[in-house]
Amino acid sequence: MSVLGIELRRSAAAGAALITVTVGVAALYTAPGRWSEGWMSLALTVKEYMILLWPIALAAGAWQGRREHRAKVGELFATTPRSRARRMLPVLVAMGASVGLAFLLVVGAGGLWIASTAAYFPPDVVAITLVGALSLVAAAWLGLGIGRLLPALVTAPVLAVAGVLLVFFTAIMRPDWMGAIMSPAYGSSPFYAFQTIDPRVTAVLALFMGGLALTGVLLLVARGPRTSVAAVLPVLLGFGAAAAIVPRDEAALVAPIDPVARELVCTDDAPKVCVTRVNSNVLDALTPLAREGLAVLAKLPDAPTQAHEERWAYPVEDAPTRDAGIVTITVRIDDHGGLAHPDAVVPEMVFGLGTGYGNPECERNGAVERAAAYHLLGREPVSDVGVIPEMIEEEPQLNAEAVELWQGLQKLPAPEALARVTAVRDALLACQDPTGLLSR
């Protein structure tokens, strides 16, 4: 134990852990909105930051692996009766444990922020995090091995750059399954809150990283060039075993859906408001707003009676068929895990007149729809900029047209105005162009 203590104090292990924690936590807290949604988004975000952490561990290993050469004690130590493997054990444990623990600390630091708001803890998060820690251990050990093989000052910076390029290009490479095996950052681009990583993908990464770690160990303890050459065997075996079991279908590789996270959690009382399980902590905040939106829509005949969170996984699924009795809401999560942009909920529900965003192939008319929606809301149309958070700019002409149509509606008797708004809604449902329906 005391050997390990000395090793921790004298080697680059503590420094590497410190840099890893600092970089990881700084990266997380620079943009907490990226992972405040829940545990899985935290796990995915940390996995994305592997592009920074993995090269750090690799370079730190190489830096440390140069030590015997730098101190010129190789020959002296070789005369001791201890085997090289025994002598290398403390440095392996010290480097591996410190970068592995540093990784867990980074995840823990993020976990503190979301612990009180994250409603759903998928068990896959544990596996993804542990394999993430294993990836860093593998990087550090591989670095140690290469640092001993090529004990020059330039090895560490070269490996740092090589590590960044390796993680980046394997994460985006084709075929996808190869990237899934080799990249510690694979599958981390977030598309929706109910995304996950297939357990088999986590398993094959563990196999490959395990092989890589073993290769590093063999390089470090190798006694001659023959052992050094044999050291590539574990990583090849790891890759082979991983290639045999890696899933090849897109559904398991590209932004897979966690069906449990996507299940609806609803209010007990009517009118029903539902959100996905992963966002169920915002149900209480959303319910009054969603009911307000339903009340506005209820002015129309046959209006929807339920509000559900939008659950369409748009990059991997076709548009779902819409139920006319349900209006969908886009739920956004703020930096603290609560409901973001509450002011946008009611307008967004009313903008489609309860029909959703519909089929993109249908003819639409922004000005007519806006005038109809604001007639229901009972106020003058304004530009979407400032109402819908993602909107950055729009043509001023669009709103001028909408205001004109809206004023026309205001002058009509109420039942006639409502009949025209209903006609617009029916046209949207029937995939017809609503142009001209307000100003007959």
Partner 1 sequence: MTLHLRARRVPLALAASVGAAALIWALWLTLSTERDAILLLVVLTVMLMVAVLSTTLAAPDEDLERTAALHWPWRRAVHLLAALAVVLVVLLATQPTGARFGPAALVVRDSAGLLGLTALCAAVVGAARAWFLPMGWAVVAAMFPQSGTWGALATWAGQPHTSRPAAVVAAVLAVTGLVTYALLGAARRE
* Contact footprint for partner 1 (CB under 8 A): 23, 27, 51-52, 55, 70, 152-154, 157-158, 160-161, 164-165, 168
**Chain mean position to CA 438:** 43
**Smallest distance, partner 1 to C-beta of residue 247, A:** 24
Give 346's Cβ-side CA count (13 Å radius). 15
Minimum distance of partner 1 from residue 52's CB (angstroms): 7
Beta-carbon contacts of 293 under 8 Å, excluding residues fewer than 6 positions away, are: 307, 327, 329, 345, 346, 348, 349, 350
Closer CB to partner 1, 99 or 160, in the complex: 160
CB of 20 to partner 1, least distance (A): 12
> Among residues 15 and 315, whose Cβ is nearest to partner 1?
15
Distances, alpha carbon 367 to alpha carbons 24, 345, 432, 435, in Å: 47, 20, 15, 9
Cβ at position 242, least distance to partner 1 in Å: 21
SS3 32: helix
Q: How far is the CB of 23 from partner 1 (least distance, A)?
A: 7
> ∠ CA 259-264-269 to the nearest 5 degrees?
165
Least Cβ distance, residue 271 to partner 1 (angstroms) = 42
How would you class 393 by CB atoms within 10 Å of its CB: exposed for 0-12, middle for 13-18, buried for 19 or more? exposed
Q: Nearer Cβ to partner 1, position 160 or 424?
A: 160
Q: Which is nearer to partner 1, 55 or 90 (CB)?
A: 55
| Interatomic CA distance for residues 429 and 440, integer angstroms | 20
Contact predicate 255/198, CB 8 Å: no
If the CB atoms of residues 127 and 158 are measured against partner 1, the closer one turns out to be 158
Pick 115 or 161: Cβ nearer partner 1: 161
CB 36 within 8 A of CB 335: yes
Name 306's bridge partners: 326
Structure tokens at 202: 């986590």
The least CB distance from residue 194 to partner 1, in Å, is 25
Cis ω before 175 (30° cut-off from 0): yes
How far apart are CB 154 and partner 1 at their closest, in Å?
A: 5
First to last CA, the chain: 88
Residue number, 71 or 251, with CB nearest to partner 1: 71
Beta carbon nearer to partner 1, 63 or 120 = 63
User: What DSSP assignment string belongs to 169-193?
Assistant: HHHH-SSHHHHHHH-TTTT-----T
Distance between CA atoms of 418 and 410, rounded to whole angstroms?
Answer: 10
The helix or strand, by DSSP H or E, that contains position 266, with its residue range, turns out to be: strand 264-266
| Residue 10 or 70 having the CB closest to partner 1 | 70
Instruction: For the CB of residue 391, give the shortest distance to partner 1 in the complex, in Å.
Output: 17
Secondary structure (3-state) at 421: helix
